[in-house]
């Protein structure tokens, strides 16, 4: 995907995927779970069509922060934005602090989908992005909602997809 581009201190990348024969350009923002981004994330949420809430399965604190981030999303993101809860570092079985069952239970409580991934060994990462893109495309087409893209009414160059704030960039295990 190339190196991240930094905007207001928040790195983002572009990624184009094909879903049902349609090319969808994703704009992926990563707030890295850092509190310094809490003040600017409402701006990111405004145009988001899909959000991945990511926590580190080896870090109880990152899991505990999910409810607060979800609350921020509910307050600032467009109504009906697609969300998936992601438990990352699933390959770190020896140092796991949050079980898959707890992750699934939280997702059920929040009314969102759940996946576990490992960015280190690239397991489930593609699935997560494709699932979010697919869910968002389905929601927009099935509901026949046409998002307001601005005064011109033309479609944007990219769809914003937020990743959660609650994961860490530390190495595994």
**Whether pLDDT at 170 is above 70:** no
**Whether pLDDT at 34 is above 90:** no
**Whether pLDDT at 101 is above 50:** yes
pLDDT at residue number 57: 97
Mention every residue, 6+ apart, whose C-beta is less than 8 A from residue 106: 63, 66, 67, 85, 114
The DSSP result for 13-44, as a single string, is EEEEEEETTEEEEEEEEE-TT-GGGTTTHHHH
pTM of the model: 0.74
| Coil/strand/helix, residue 11 | strand
CATH of 5-152, one of 3.40.50.300, 3.30.70.270, 1.10.260.40, 2.40.110.10: 3.40.50.300
DSSP secondary structure letter of residue 78: P
Q: Determine the longest span between alpha carbons in the chain, in angstroms.
A: 53
């Amino acid at each position: 995907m190339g190196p991240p581009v930094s905007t207001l201190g928040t790195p983002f990348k572009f990624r184009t995927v094909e879903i049902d024969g349609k090319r969808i350009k994703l704009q992926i923002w990563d707030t890295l779970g850092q509190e310094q981004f809490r003040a600017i994330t409402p701006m990111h949420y405004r145009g988001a069509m899909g959000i991945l809430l990511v926590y580190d399965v080896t870090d109880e604190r990152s899991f505990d922060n999910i409810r607060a981030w979800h609350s921020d999303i509910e307050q600032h993101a467009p109504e009906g934005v697609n969300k998936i809860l992601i438990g990352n570092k699933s390959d770190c079985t020896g140092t796991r602090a949050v079980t898959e069952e707890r992750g699934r239970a939280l997702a059920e409580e929040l009314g969102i989908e759940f996946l576990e991934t490992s960015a280190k060994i690239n397991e489930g990462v593609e699935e997560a992005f494709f699932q979010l893109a697919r869910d968002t495309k389905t929601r927009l087409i099935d509901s026949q909602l046409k998002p307001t893209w601005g005064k011109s009414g033309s479609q944007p160059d990219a769809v914003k997809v937020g990743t959660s704030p609650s994961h860490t960039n530390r190495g595994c295990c």
